[in-house]
Structures are given as C-alpha cells and as structure tokens.
C-alpha cells in the first residue's frame, strides 16, 4: 500500500476503502497520536466541508450500521474540533478487510479546521 508523506515527518496518509455495495475510497491521514478514525459525511454543511474532496455516503454502503446513541466528537490541541455520529462498516486497508470497524461519520467541523492532507483522519 503506498503511503504518502506531507513534508518531512509532518503527516502520513494513504487510501482506505469504506463499505461494501459501492465501496468508497478516501485518502486518510494516519494520526499516530489519536485512536479515532473518521471521514467527512456528504451531510456536512460546515464551511470547512465545502470543497471537492470526496464525502462518505452511508446510503451507498450495504455494510453501514449506525451505533444508536453514540455520538462522535474529537477536539484537537489547536482548538479545532469535529463531531457527528458513530457507526460501523467494513474497511479495507492495504488489502486487509476489517468488518464492523467503528468510525466517525463527521457532520460538523469547526470553521478553523484545516485538513490539507486528505479526506479524513
């Protein structure tokens, strides 16, 4: 699996495929300091979501399973934050398929959130 580097030791990212039915590919930043995985939802209307990057569409994912009553929220050290819902789906990373992987479906992003390295973390 190719892994790209953004500046020397600043960020690493690679492709992860989310879902079955119509698999969706995203360039995800591998954050070694955080254990949460998320993608931006097609339902995100925040200013920081208004770009041409792909957005996750749960209606295309036959493995999608929402986790009722479990919100997803992350606040970073720089004060930026993301939030949405928690869900599970099948993901594929480097040819390895992981079923029922928990992740965040982000629908709100702080306006000062800048994520130049990919489509999620």
- pLDDT, position 105: 96
Cβ(94)–Cβ(62) below 8 Å: no
How far apart are the C-alpha atoms of 15 and 108, rounded to whole Å?
23
- pLDDT, position 5: 46
| pLDDT single digits (tens) 1-40 | 454 445 555 667 789 999 999 999 998 888 777 788 999 9
DSSP secondary structure code for residue 79 in this structure: S
Mean pLDDT of 95-113: 91
Given a cut of 80, is residue 117 above it in pLDDT?
no
The overall average pLDDT reported for the chain is 85
Percent of the residues in the chain that have a pLDDT greater than 70, as a whole number: 83
CATH ID of 4-109, from 1.10.10.10, 2.40.70.10, 3.30.1540.10, 3.30.390.30: 2.40.70.10
- pLDDT, position 3: 47
Instruction: Please give the C-alpha separations between residue 95 and each of 17, 18, 107, 120, in angstroms, as whole numbers.
Output: 9, 12, 28, 19
- The domain ranges of the chain are 4-109
The DSSP code sequence of 17-56 is EE-SBS-EEEEEE--TT----EEEBTT--SGGG-SSS--B
Q: How many helices (H) and strands (E) does the chain have?
A: 1, 7
Given a cut of 70, is residue 70 above it in pLDDT?
yes
């Amino acid at each position: 699996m190719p892994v790209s580097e953004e500046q020397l030791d600043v960020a690493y990212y690679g492709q992860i495929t989310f879902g079955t039915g119509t698999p969706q590919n995203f360039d995800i930043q591998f954050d070694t300091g955080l254990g949460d995985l998320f993608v931006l939802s097609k339902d995100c209307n925040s200013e920081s979501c208004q770009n041409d990057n792909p957005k996750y569409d749960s209606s295309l994912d036959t493995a999608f399973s929402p986790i009722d009553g479990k919100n997803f929220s992350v606040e970073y050290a720089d004060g930026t934050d993301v939030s949405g819902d928690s869900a599970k789906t099948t993901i594929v990373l480097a040819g390895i398929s992981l079923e029922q992987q928990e992740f965040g479906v982000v629908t709100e992003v702080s306006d000062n959130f800048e994520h130049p390295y990919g489509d999620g973390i």
